[in-house]
Chain A
């Protein structure tokens, strides 16, 4: 899939490019609005990531302009100016999602995947994990057709996030940012992820051992799926 990254902060743009390329996206970068405006008029993209704080261009104007030439692309707004009215305006003008800087790259990728599923209607949303079936659309985990009801919303979020980034170590920090990202709070080291994982393992163990959920010592967790 083709991605256009419009971000004036060069170092950040490069990191986005490295990360997304790693996830098999084809990336192009623009450091300013003028070149971006030229690019969107000529090329077709699946994803356009727009930084709202461009020095030479009003970000929302660029969004409007890009939508004219690339009506089918998915738009994600990136900004450090996290003001609420910007958020509402951006979504009103047809942005598909919004990420406030600083954001986790994994979070960006999971948002992009969510949009892909939505836009392209991917039906195959059931993942097989050992004896368990995880349905990402219905948000259920089943064992021999029996739904495991004891799994809470948070716990499912964690499993789903690990599935999305399967076969990669997701650090505790990345997991807690995903789970508690919207909470503004006083702790900087509240690592309750371990407690969540412990609960998940205990609940699943009652049915079958979840060997696929691995602890990466000192770092975080990983879900192994053999493709």
Chain B
């Protein structure tokens, strides 16, 4: 998951948790606030009643020993004053049910005892609980809306800011790491950022890339120079041996030993030539301007290689369901790619085995499958078959030096051809070449 996505996710989730908690607590909170407010109103009313009693006497409420009661028509609040015959002094606020004119209503009631003219009176002031609750509904809604609004605002703000802050990181990843083809890194461009961590990251990556690049470059130069330098002494030796063959006075026995020398020199030449070819491909010293149809190319390879099938009595089948012209290729290199793959298919095949080459269109890709009935490659060897000088156990008795598949790989990479290998031990291997659209005319 991307860092940005993670941050956004965390932000949103944490805020949702806060909202949920708050919404769950809201009724309790509002109720609490409302009760305090109601209670303080009740006390104010009590104070007012007591003040009236003090200034004007109890007579302003109670005459002739009758009790006093007043309430509004919808009975949402009431005031009552009466003589109290019970012992003790009450001064409480609590919820309680009263029956007024046949209606049973729950009230928040303040009860207060006081003495006037040696008589004890009880004052009750009530506000109906329904009224209290009616007021808390809208309050809750407003609080909820404001809360949600603020949460959305902060999420957006967080998002915008994290976008802004993380942009340099995204740029570093996009321009420096993803889609950068090793070892062609291109030139260094500093990523603009005020975050020192990102600047540090950017510079470090750049330094690492430079190091890798120069190591790569040195290795390439070394291989190129070494193989070039080896060519001249090989050339001299080859000429010397060939000239010795021309001499009449050399015995046959000596000639056979010279032939062995020539053979070994050929081996040295092959290795050097192959390394040089790989380094030339990697240094982009080949053009891609040729055009040839896949059937023609396969025919040319067959003409060169058919003699090798004879030895092991291998059957060879080419199936081209749709012949397509290859363009923007280097014919010499592609010829060598197929030659090496088919040569391997022969070399590692069994007596009387078969090779099947199939050129097909597969989901808009152009594919050539080269399937043999050979030794196969074991799973543990499979990741290493394209490594230089890597000789697999089963190929030890073969005359090879472990550069066939590396050439194939270099040529394929040079043409952006993808190679997939499917192999089963003692059953055979399939090398699948997937040609990109740019190579097909």
| A-to-B contact residues, CB < 8 Å | 9, 11-12, 15-16, 18-19, 22, 80-85, 101-106, 152-154, 168-169, 171-174, 177, 180, 182-190, 192, 195-196, 199, 217-220
Contacts and interface: CB of A to CB of B under 8 A. Distances in A.
B32 interface: no
Contacts, number: 146
Contacts of A188: 263, 266-267, 270-271, 399-401
Per CB-CB distance, the 10 closest pairs between chain A and chain B, nearest first, are: A186-B404, A188-B267, A102-B235, A15-B239, A80-B231, A189-B399, A101-B235, A186-B400, A105-B242, A102-B234
Contacts of A186: 270, 274, 340, 343-344, 400-404, 407
Contacts of B269: 102
Interface stretch (B38-46, B96-104, B306-314): B306-314
Contact of B259 (A102, A171, A180, A182): A171
B303 A104 contact: no
Contacts of A152: 303
Interface in B266-284: 266-267, 269-271, 273-274, 276-277, 280
A226 to B, nearest CB: 18
A185 B404 contact: yes
Contacts of B252: 217-219
B256 A218 contact: yes
B194 interface: no
A85 B285 CA distance: 8
A101 B232 contact: yes
A163 to B, nearest CB: 17
Contacts of B339: 183, 185
Given A183-B335, A184-B407, 20 more contacts: A11-B236, A11-B240, A12-B232, A15-B243, A19-B242, A101-B234, A101-B235, A102-B269, A103-B238, A172-B259, A177-B266, A184-B277, A185-B270, A185-B339, A186-B274, A186-B402, A187-B270, A187-B347, A218-B259, A219-B259
B307 A196 contact: yes
Interface of B: 228, 231-232, 234-236, 238-240, 242-243, 245-246, 252, 255-256, 259, 262-263, 266-267, 269-271, 273-274, 276-277, 280, 285-287, 303-304, 307-308, 310-311, 332, 335-336, 339-340, 343-344, 347, 399-404, 407
A84 B287 contact: yes
B246 A187 contact: no
Contact of A12 (B239, B262, B347, B407): B239
- Most chain B CB within 10 A, of A103, A185, A190, is at A185
A173 B262 contact: yes
A192 B404 CA distance: 18
A102 B119 CA distance: 136
Contact of B240 (A15, A169, A173, A192): A15
Contacts of B231: 80, 101-102
Contacts of B343: 185-187
A84 B285 contact: yes
Nearest to B256: A218
A211 to B, nearest CB: 21
A105 B235 CA distance: 10
Given A102-B269, A105-B243, A185-B339, A83 B280 contact: yes
B383 to A, nearest CB: 19
A219 B241 CA distance: 13
A19 B273 CA distance: 24
A174 B336 CA distance: 20
Contacts of B399: 187-190
A161 B276 CA distance: 28
Contacts of A169: 245, 255
A171 to B, nearest CB: 6
B21 to A, nearest CB: 71
B267 A189 contact: yes
Contact of A19 (B246, B256, B340): B246
Nearest to A183: B339
Contact of A22 (B246, B271, B335, B403): B246
Contacts of B310: 195, 199
Contact of A182 (B270, B280, B332): B332
